[in-house]
């Protein structure tokens, strides 16, 4: 007799604010839940605004073997190094964006697969690099660096105050919205991505690659930038620490916060 298919075959989890709290540590409870659900035959992966080099460190800690969605959905790479999706901001657009944002008193990051360039060294940049577990190299002229490269960045990220991020997002969206997505993966960030980037599209691409119906996917997040994949998945989940105004967009809101909320979902929907 053919074994019945599980109701959910893939769990896609956001990292910062969802899997990880402010301590940035993976809890023993989360490691145990990840091991149990994968042993039960349910695939587990990440969908994050982090670059792949950072995301893969988290995946290794959880024993994840599936391809990882990184760079806000612009990149999808297998654990064997296979590049399944690699969407870049065009080099000429990147140079124009970096020129435009140079007038802001803010840290600016240009993310390339082989290096991360920053406009200056600051305590915030050092903390960001430490949080991601990656090196960042200061460059005196980011627009020139972008123009000199044939390949564009996967992301450009401007670090600002949370109260000014919506203003700058609107400003630069009006300037570059026809060429790139101008969004925020965190309240204090303004992000520039390829027009076809996005966690929902990356999850759909991964489902096609794995032969999984998107209705058999659980997507778990905590922020505005997670809502697209939450709405697209068969079960869209917000962890309990998500802002209450986002709760109506989810099929399920966990009682627990962060990784304890993920463990709650795994136990309720995948292991019973």
Q: What does 101-127 look like in DSSP terms, one character per residue?
A: HTTSSSEEEEE-SS-EEES---HHHHH
Pick the CATH number of 91-194 from 2.102.10.10, 3.40.50.970, 3.90.25.10, 3.30.1240.10: 3.30.1240.10
- Cα-based angle 208, 212, 213 (whole degrees, multiple of 5): 95
Residue 57 has pLDDT above 60, yes or no: yes
Q: Tell me the average pLDDT across 42-59.
A: 95
Residue 185 vs residue 87, higher pLDDT:
87
Pick the CATH number of 10-86+198-269 from 3.20.20.70, 2.60.40.2470, 3.40.50.1000, 3.30.420.40: 3.40.50.1000
Report the SS3 class of residue 35: helix
Residue 6 has pLDDT above 70, yes or no: no
Taking a C-beta distance cutoff of 8 angstroms, is the pair 182, 172 a contact? yes
Mean model confidence pLDDT for the chain: 93
- Fold agreement (10-86+198-269, 91-194): no
Give the distance from CA 68 to its chain's centroid: 10
Could you report the per-residue pLDDT of 190-240, keeping only the tens digit for each? Answer: 999 999 999 999 999 999 999 999 999 999 999 988 999 999 999 999 999
What pTM does this model have? 0.91
Domain ranges of the chain: 10-86+198-269, 91-194
Q: What percent of the chain has pLDDT over 90?
A: 83
How far apart, in Å, are the Cα atoms of 189 and each of 26, 58, 125? Answer: 24, 21, 12
Could you report the per-residue pLDDT of 112-124, keeping only the tens digit for each? Answer: 988 899 999 888 8
Report the SS3 class of residue 18: coil
């Amino acid at each position: 007799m053919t074994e019945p298919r599980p109701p959910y075959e893939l769990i896609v989890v956001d990292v910062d604010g969802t899997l990880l709290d402010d301590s940035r540590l993976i809890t023993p409870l989360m490691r145990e839940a990840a091991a149990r659900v994968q042993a039960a035959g349910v695939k587990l992966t990440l969908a994050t605004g982090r670059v792949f080099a950072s995301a893969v460190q988290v995946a290794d800690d959880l024993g994840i073997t599936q391809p990882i969605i990184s760079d806000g959905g612009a990149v999808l790479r297998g654990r064997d190094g296979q590049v399944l999706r690699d969407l870049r901001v065009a080099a000429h657009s990147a140079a124009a964006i970096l020129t435009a944002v140079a007038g802001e008193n803010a840290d600016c990051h240009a993310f390339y697969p082989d290096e991360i360039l920053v406009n200056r060294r600051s305590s915030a940049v050092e903390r960001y690099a430490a949080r991601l577990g990656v090196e960042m190299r200061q460059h005196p002229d980011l627009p020139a660096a972008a123009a000199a490269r044939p390949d564009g960045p996967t992301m450009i990220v401007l670090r600002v105050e949370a109260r000014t991020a919506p203003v700058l997002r609107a400003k630069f969206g009006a300037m570059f919205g026809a060429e790139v997505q101008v969004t925020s993966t965190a309240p204090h960030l303004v992000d520039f991505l390829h027009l076809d980037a996005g966690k929902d599209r990356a999850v759909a691409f991964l489902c096609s690659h794995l032969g999984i119906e998107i209705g058999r996917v659980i997507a778990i997040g905590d922020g505005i930038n997670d809502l697209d994949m939450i709405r697209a998945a068969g079960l869209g989940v917000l962890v309990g620490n998500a802002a209450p105004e986002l709760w109506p967009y989810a099929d399920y809101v966990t009682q627990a916060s962060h990784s304890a909320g993920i463990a709650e979902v795994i136990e309720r929907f995948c292991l019973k």
